[in-house]
Amino acid sequence: MISIKKLATVGAAAGLLAASAMPVFASHSDDLDIDQKNGAIVKNNTVTVANTGLNSIGGGKLVIQKTGNALAQADVSTVANKNVAVVKDCDCFDDVDIDQKNFAYVKNNTVTVANSGKNTIGGGKLVIQKTGNATAVAWVTNVVNKNVTVVGD
């Protein structure tokens, strides 16, 4: 027969065990909370100049001047603020909360100049001046505030 003292001791021990384990059970959460934040301030100032020269031809009986081509290129690329959150399907979360925030200020000042020159010709019997081609090209690419979220497989 089990005595009342033994029963009371076992009951008290079980109560202490349950009370000590209770905070662990109470603080466990099956929620996943992801916060991603980015900020960027980008200022691009680009000046590209190509010039075949400030050529001048003076007098003479036969003067020939030929200048080369002028090519000015500018390529400006900005990539800022990319958030990626991938949560695999594990059936282990009751609630998934993903908060992605981005801020970007992008200012591009791009000047591209190509000039075949400020050419002048003076007097003479035969003066020939040929300048090259002048080409100016600018590429500006901005990719900002990109968020990618994948939940599941």
- The 8-class DSSP code of residue 91 comes to S
- pLDDT attached to residue 74: 94
At CA 96, angle to CA 94 and CA 99, rounded to 5?
160
Structure token pair of residue 43: 């200022």
Which of 71, 72, 80, 50 lies closest to 141 in space, CA to CA? 80
- pLDDT attached to residue 152: 82
Digit-coded pLDDT (tens) for 47-93: 999 988 777 777 767 877 788 888 999 999 999 999 999 998 888 88
Average pLDDT for the chain: 80
Quick check: pTM over 0.75?
A: no
CA–CA separation, 86 and 100 (whole Å): 12
Which of 84, 76, 95 lies closest to 138 in space, CA to CA? 76
